[in-house]
Chains A and B, each alone.
Chain A
């Protein structure tokens, strides 16, 4: 792979805190190596801003290996930028070329208020999990792990749904700011396993209820969530969720 250096213009959303209005600001970065990650390019910019006596740009990030789900930049109109099945931290600068102008915004959704610059509050996701995204088993009650064989295809499908990293890109990509892909991934993960069976109905009803309370929008099946998901969570999980929801609603005594 040939390496090259580039100069870039960045148009970045700046917002002091949740109470103030934000605006775009232009920045220029020079001599960016194609081997850098996108966040390392931001590190370079922030070091420059600090040296110039300006405030660096706040952004969420932690593991920088695509698994913690903290990073959350809306790059050139796409959550996590141009690469398929990717997080912002794993986006590398060879995706860009010299002279490009890159627009960077925070996740936009009513349920994800901006805290500062590119940092948003995603605690709504935690509250959706609190509403039922678990199996009620206290520590110490478990039987031998192999006493309950699970069909491999089902276990694999459950794992594929459980890969969700809770980053919120699905919400940011959705024109309705719906959290259905996130929610459906958790419902599928647990509904596909026999351990999830006892609470299957109450789980889906309570989680959907909480999602609505948080102010996420409805799903209109445009599929932007699936297209942008860094872990390729399938939109078929939403179909599964609807099926679960329907069954639960019909049999619910509430």
Chain B
């Protein structure tokens, strides 16, 4: 039943062949075709802008007050591209290989190869738009290294790469708005997909300022609505990031792929108390220079600077000498959890490890001293020079750390702990990025396609922009070419009326519970269940318990929720109530998926499946497939398998030692 539509032929020729043979839509017809884009992050903004440039009539929606605020903006470290500007052996094949390996052999070869192929075009496009990437003194683009990789292929703009890329895409989008090719709907939320004769034909959206429901027609609908990490309550996602658009599509027939694949990022600022509303990431790029350690003694209460070098356990360097502090995210996260669980954690909560820049500061200081010909400068002077170099590289991240914790990371090591960061799972899509609903596409983090069971650093920005700038403009034509005969469907059509009625009734139901408990409390409870039982380590018993607990929580939610205010006004509590209701349903599916996948792979660690040294152990014979879940009614799903064929890469047990 699942047809991934991967083109035939050699891996490296598939995308070129596809582009050479896919259907085209002539310019006069493009003007008659309407496309709806949900979300204006990197995937959505780049898709909306590019489709507008091509001449389609585009409507773009975001829940924020401006498309520029989508959460792609928070990405810090960088964007990968197989440019090989450093002459260090990089190539399209290596980027492809690293991504498949990093994803622990649970992604599709053809998709990942295409991603690697277009990666270089993304950098060129962004430079042309005026994205101010970091440069060397010769005026050429600068690169740095990232986890899970042995070449320097990451392009960056200080610690704000996501912001700069998004502003680039946003400007391209606003240009199309000015030209009249894109109509922008900010402070709008998609609350259902409208399906007519088996094809996605529009959406029901809610204007978040006045609460009114709106019907919008489109010949195709693109979901670029991001990931669902907020199901854990605490994550590095923005407060508004949610699964609602994707979940509504799922309930209308779009299969959900690998929902349990969650990325826990190793370097986040630890939780400081019950009041915590979100977690803040410290860019992975810090692992280029920072060394991670815990004391060798359990429950060591000394201050970090009082612990001599020989009493520190640089556990990543010890366990993984080949990659050291730059092992992939899933490996680094589990290693931190292992140390903390074993009683070596630091800080008041003991749920943290140190990320220490002292060696890097001294090393950079000595390089500066050499440059100045002052090798015998006193150590204080060397440290001062070193701090300046570190400030240049990571200044904004260090400032952010100090604002949040009140500690100066130039003087004391940072305390970090893993946190939910990204979801590799998402709506199942074929090679053309189409979901199992005709005419309904998913791009960027909202789809499941390219990162397998674990995403490498600096690859999310790459994928979002690849999908929006370079993939969907081709693949959507293959669908829309046959739509030129279909006139826009009136939003008076019964399918629109029916969808709007369902949305309205659900909103009224939420408002009319009139219970005692706030949305926030339910969200926190859900997050605790998910983190404890479907978080960094999972086991059969815990997952079974979690499913029961979530079902119970759902009952309580629909019996005891209190939403203040009214429907037809600006009401953030009501917006959030709908989102949390969807998260609760998603949480159950994530646990079901995690329970089914009794192997460990990438970010999904099943305690039952590990090597004697505690490393994740895959089971390729039983689980080399994508689990695509079909919604069959409340708490009921059917699983479909897409078997993964590795024609070029031979899967091996990952080894970063």
Contact = CB atoms under 8 A, between A and B. Distances in A.
Contacts of B138: 149
Interface stretch (B123-131, B364-372, B611-619): B123-131
Contact of A139 (B50, B123, B521): B50
A79 interface: no
A51 interface: yes
B124 A149 contact: no
A92 B406 contact: yes
Contacts of A142: 121, 124-125, 127-128
Give the interface centre of A47, A50, A68, A189 by most chain B CB atoms within 10 Å: A68
Nearest to B177: A130
Contacts of A217: none
Contact of B65 (A121, A156, A163): A121
Given A90-B404, A138-B53, A145-B141, A123 B129 contact: no
Contact of A116 (B177, B405, B473, B569): B569
A133 B85 CA distance: 30
Interface in A132-160: 133-146, 148-152, 155-156, 158-159
A90 B69 contact: no
A99 B552 CA distance: 42
Contacts of A98: none
Interface string B263-285: 00000000011011110110000
A249 B275 CA distance: 54
B275 A36 contact: yes
B80 interface: no
A136 B178 CA distance: 12
Nearest to B408: A1
A138 B399 CA distance: 37
Contacts of A65: 74, 236, 278, 280-281, 400
Given A47-B520, A162-B167, A63 B71 contact: yes
Interface in A72-88: 83, 85-86
A63 B74 contact: yes
B406 A94 contact: yes
B407 interface: yes
A62 B240 contact: yes
A216 interface: no
A67 B562 contact: no
Contacts of B46: 139
Contacts of A123: 65-66, 186
Interface stretch (B90-98, B168-176, B446-454): B168-176
Interface string B238-277: 1110000000000000000000000000000000110111
A227 interface: no
A195 B171 CA distance: 14
B570 A116 contact: yes
Contact of A150 (B135, B174, B236): B135
A214 interface: no
B175 A136 contact: yes
A224 interface: no
A129 to B, nearest CB: 5
Nearest to B473: A139
B124 A1 contact: no
B139 A134 contact: no
A177 to B, nearest CB: 18
Interface stretch (A6-14, A38-46, A234-242): A38-46
A190 B141 contact: no
A62 B238 CA distance: 5
B518 A47 contact: yes
B127 A195 contact: yes
Interface string B123-166: 11111111011111111110000000000000001101011100
A90 B53 contact: no
Given A40-B277, A148-B127, A152-B137, A67 B239 contact: no
Contacts of A144: 124
A32 to B, nearest CB: 8
Interface string B470-514: 100100000000000000000000000000000000000000000
B128 A135 contact: yes
B403 interface: yes
Nearest to A57: B572
B140 A83 contact: no
A70 B73 CA distance: 12
Nearest to A117: B570
A140 B581 CA distance: 41
A111 B46 CA distance: 28
B7 interface: no
Given A43-B520, A136-B175, A159-B132, A145 B65 contact: no
A155 B403 CA distance: 27
B184 interface: yes
A193 interface: yes
Given A36-B275, A40-B277, A137 B66 contact: no
A37 B277 contact: yes
B564 interface: yes
A8 B210 CA distance: 33
B583 interface: no
Secondary structure at chain A's binding surface: helix, strand, loop or mixed? loop
A175 interface: no
B456 interface: no
Contact of B404 (A50, A92, A133, A141): A92
B422 to A, nearest CB: 15
Given A64-B277, A142-B121, A126 B174 contact: yes
A137 B565 CA distance: 45
A172 B50 CA distance: 34
B83 interface: yes
A83 B275 CA distance: 21
Given A40-B277, A141-B128, A158-B132, A166 B569 contact: no
A58 interface: yes
B239 A162 contact: no
B572 A58 contact: yes
Contacts of A119: 570
A64 B209 CA distance: 21
Contacts of A51: 516, 518
B435 interface: no
Given A54-B564, A130-B177, A33 B49 contact: no
Contacts of A35: 272-273, 275, 406
A56 interface: yes
B68 A166 contact: yes
A190 B139 contact: no
A177 B323 CA distance: 53
B129 A195 contact: yes
B403 A139 contact: no
B391 to A, nearest CB: 14
Nearest to A65: B280
Interface string B523-567: 000000000000000000000000000000000000000101100
Contact of B175 (A60, A130, A162): A130
Contacts of A33: 272-273, 275
A36 B140 CA distance: 42
Nearest to A119: B570
Contacts of B405: 1
A152 B139 contact: yes
B600 interface: no
Contacts of B569: 16-17, 116
A165 interface: yes
A123 to B, nearest CB: 7
Nearest to A165: B163
10 contacts: A40-B275, A53-B564, A62-B71, A68-B71, A129-B171, A140-B125, A152-B136, A159-B158, A166-B66, A195-B130
Given A68-B71, A135-B171, A145-B123, 20 more contacts: A33-B273, A37-B404, A40-B275, A40-B277, A49-B564, A50-B573, A58-B570, A92-B403, A119-B570, A121-B65, A130-B178, A134-B129, A139-B473, A145-B126, A146-B83, A155-B134, A156-B135, A162-B167, A189-B132, A195-B129
